[in-house]
């Protein structure tokens, strides 16, 4: 494991807001020995984050080199402005999911933008709060850095360095470009998933009993926190609305076609929607930037008892094959489970024959 064990960032860090992101940043940096001071408007939150090891309580005499503002989106600009004023020698960044509005508000407030750099670590969990914080939250994730026209090179470098310390991959993007991108890949999917899941509210138990993996996947993020999301969506409404509107228009066409399924053109209209979906999903890069379909799938049937997974993966290790992705598919009430192993296609046959010769049952 090529783990970072010494901080690249040599200064001290102040984190304002000890929620999921603030606590996770504090945990990650503290583990590297960086001096982290934490502040939160809730004493209980603050105490929890400190107990977890995310840093020490901020003191009046602190002279932070970098302030990371991890407060809800709707108060981000205000807090960034007050931090810039309170610590005239510090660089200040924030982690809000929407970047243009914060920059707009700061510009209106007339702050020293040279010391400010927006950022957005592309990491999160369905559950928020200090209690969900973890030092590895940012590992391998993009950390978008939205420098403004006045951001100093030193300020940008400070944020990049901290992002690298947390194991993430810094990525410089314009604030508006960022907002357009996340509207498409994150905010619209969130709303669509919520709207889809809400169809189930009045479903009969025997109906949802037929739910398969497709429904589970499409609605997983519908469990996300509405309080956080309403702020994100409000701040990025200008970018989200047109994408969602385009979806509404096509959805309307599909509904019309379904309502008039026997009329000429109806099937073609639905077909086009399905085919467009095929083309759209192909655009999503998989692991290591490859297409999702580039791995070979090997499905192994295992008994549902302690030790079976261990025995399987131990033997996969002995065979010397690296598993790129895996999925345990557990059937309700079944005494067996299916383990889906994804490997490079070049080693698929070796894995199958070696596993079979060791007595494993390969499905298919």
Shorter beta-carbon distance to its own copies: residue 7 or 233: 233
Min separation Cβ 47 and its own copies, Å: 18
Min separation Cβ 239 and its own copies, Å: 9
Tokens of 99: 């970047």
Rounded Cα distance, 157 and 145, in Å? 10
Shorter beta-carbon distance to its own copies: residue 87 or 342: 342
Min separation Cβ 161 and its own copies, Å: 18
Rounded Cα distance, 150 and 113, in Å? 6
Shorter beta-carbon distance to its own copies: residue 57 or 299: 299
Shorter beta-carbon distance to its own copies: residue 112 or 315: 315
Min separation Cβ 120 and its own copies, Å: 9
Give the ranges where the chain is alpha helix by DSSP (H).
Answer: 20-31, 43-52, 73-86, 100-109, 153-165, 175-182, 188-197, 205-208, 213-219, 226-235, 237-259, 266-281, 308-319, 348-357
Rounded Cα distance, 358 and 342, in Å? 19
Shorter beta-carbon distance to its own copies: residue 153 or 216: 216
What is the DSSP track for 346-357? GGHHHHHHHHHH
Min separation Cβ 124 and its own copies, Å: 8
Shorter beta-carbon distance to its own copies: residue 78 or 297: 297
Rounded Cα distance, 227 and 57, in Å? 26
Min separation Cβ 200 and its own copies, Å: 4
Chain centroid to CA 53: how far? 23
Task: Tell me how crowded residue 140 is: count the other CB atoms within 10 A of its CB.
Answer: 10
């Amino acid at each position: 494991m090529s783990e970072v064990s010494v901080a690249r960032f040599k200064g001290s860090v102040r984190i304002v807001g000890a929620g999921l992101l603030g606590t996770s940043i504090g945990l990650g940096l503290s583990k590297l020995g960086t001096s982290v001071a934490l502040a939160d408007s809730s004493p209980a939150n603050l105490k929890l984050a400190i107990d977890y090891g995310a840093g020490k309580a901020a003191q009046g005499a602190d002279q932070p080199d970098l302030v990371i503002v991890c407060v809800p989106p709707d108060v981000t600009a205000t807090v960034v402005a007050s931090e810039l004023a309170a610590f005239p020698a510090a660089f200040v960044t924030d982690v809000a999911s929407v970047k243009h509005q914060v920059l707009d508000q700061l510009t209106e407030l007339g702050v020293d933008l040279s010391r400010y750099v927006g950022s957005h670590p592309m990491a999160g969990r369905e559950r928020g709060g200090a209690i969900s914080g973890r030092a590895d939250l940012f590992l391998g994730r993009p950390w978008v850095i939205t420098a403004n026209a006045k951001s100093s090179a030193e300020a940008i470098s400070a944020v990049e360095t901290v992002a690298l310390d947390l194991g993430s991959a810094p990525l410089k993007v314009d604030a508006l470009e960022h907002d357009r991108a996340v509207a498409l890949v994150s905010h619209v999917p969130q709303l669509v998933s919520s709207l889809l899941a809400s169809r189930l509210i009045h479903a009969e138990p025997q109906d949802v009993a037929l739910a398969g993996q497709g429904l589970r996947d499409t609605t997983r993020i519908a469990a996300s926190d509405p309080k956080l999301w309403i702020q994100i969506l409000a701040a990025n409404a200008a970018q989200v609305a047109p994408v969602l509107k385009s979806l509404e228009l096509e959805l309307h066409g599909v509904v019309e076609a379904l309502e008039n399924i026997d009329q000429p053109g109806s099937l073609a209209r639905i077909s086009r929607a399905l085919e467009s979906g095929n083309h759209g999903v192909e655009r999503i890069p998989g692991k290591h930037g490859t297409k999702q379909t580039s791995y070979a799938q090997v499905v192994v049937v295992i008994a549902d008892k302690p030790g079976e997974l261990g025995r399987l993966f131990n033997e996969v290790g002995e065979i010397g094959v690296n598993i790129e992705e895996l999925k345990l598919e557990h059937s309700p009430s079944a005494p067996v489970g299916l383990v889906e192993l994804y490997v490079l296609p070049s080693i698929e046959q070796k894995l199958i024959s070696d596993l079979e010769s060791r007595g494993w049952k390969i499905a298919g």
